[in-house]
Chains A and B, each alone.
Chain A
Amino acid sequence: MEHVAPRSIGTAEPVAVRRATGEPVVEMLSAGKVFANGTRALDPIDLTVRERELVSLIGPSGCGKSTLLKLVAGLLEPTDGRIVWWRGDYARVGEAGRRLSFVFQDPTLMPWSRVEANVRLPLDLAGMARAEARRRVERALELVGLADARRDYPRQLSGGMRMRVSIARALVTEPNLLLMDEPFGALDEFTRNRLDGDLVTLWWGRPLSVIFVTHSIYEAVFLSTRIVVMAARPGRVFAGMTIDEPHPRDPSFRTSQRFAQLCRELSGLLTDASLASAP
Chain B
Amino acid sequence: MRPPLRPLAESEAFLRVAAPAAAGLAMLTAWEAICRHYHVPSYLLPTPSAIVATFVEDAPTLLRALMMTMRVALTAFACAVMIGTLIAFVFVQSRMAERAFLPYAVVLQVTPIVAIAPLIIILVKDTQTALVLCATIIALFPIIANTTLGLRSVDHGLVNLFTLNKANRLQTLVRLRIPSALPYFFGGLRISSGLALIGAVVAEFVAGTGGRSAGLAYEILQSGFQLAIPRMFAALFLITAAGILLFVVMSALSRLVLGEWHESESAPEV
> A residues engaging B (CB < 8 A)?
73-75, 94, 100-102, 104-106, 108, 110-113, 121-122, 124-126, 153-156
The SS class assigned to the B binding surface is helix
Q: How many A-B residue pairs have CB under 8 A?
A: 54
Q: Which of B140-189 contact A (CB under 8 A)?
A: 155, 157-158, 160-167, 171, 175-176, 179, 182
Known: A74-B164, A94-B166, A126-B165. A108 touches B158 (CB 8 A): yes
Q: Would B161 and A108 count as touching, CB distance under 8 A?
A: yes
What's the interface size class on B, roughly? Answer: 20 to 34
Known: A155-B261, A155-B263, A156-B269. A75 touches B165 (CB 8 A): no
State whether the Cβ of B262 lies closer than 8 Å to any Cβ in chain A. Answer: yes
CA distance A111 to B161 in the complex (A): 14
Closest-by-CB residue of A relative to B258 is A112
29 contacts between A and B (CB under 8 A): A73-B164, A75-B160, A75-B164, A100-B164, A102-B164, A106-B157, A108-B155, A108-B157, A108-B160, A110-B158, A110-B175, A110-B176, A110-B179, A111-B261, A112-B182, A112-B262, A113-B179, A113-B261, A121-B165, A122-B165, A124-B175, A125-B162, A125-B166, A125-B167, A125-B171, A153-B260, A153-B261, A154-B261, A155-B263
Nearest Cβ in chain A — how far from B162, in angstroms?
Answer: 7
The 6 nearest A-B residue pairs measured at CB: A108-B157, A112-B179, A125-B165, A112-B261, A104-B157, A122-B165
Nearest Cβ in chain B — how far from A184, in angstroms?
Answer: 16
Closest-by-CB residue of B relative to A108 is B157
Closest-by-CB residue of A relative to B163 is A75
Taking CB atoms, residues of chain A closer than 8 Å to B164 are: 73-75, 100-102
The SS class assigned to the A binding surface is loop
Q: Would A102 and B161 count as touching, CB distance under 8 A?
A: yes
Closest-by-CB residue of A relative to B162 is A125
With A104-B157, A111-B262 known, 7 other A-B pairs at CB within 8 A are A102-B161, A112-B261, A113-B261, A125-B165, A125-B171, A154-B261, A155-B263
Nearest Cβ in chain A — how far from B232, in angstroms?
Answer: 47
Q: Would B161 and A104 count as touching, CB distance under 8 A?
A: yes
CA distance A270 to B24 in the complex (A): 68
Closest-by-CB residue of B relative to A101 is B164
CA distance A255 to B165 in the complex (A): 40
Q: Would B166 and A104 count as touching, CB distance under 8 A?
A: no
Taking CB atoms, residues of chain A closer than 8 Å to B163 are: 75
Taking CB atoms, residues of chain B closer than 8 Å to A94 are: 166
Nearest Cβ in chain B — how far from A175, in angstroms?
Answer: 11
Taking CB atoms, residues of chain A closer than 8 Å to B165 are: 121-122, 125-126
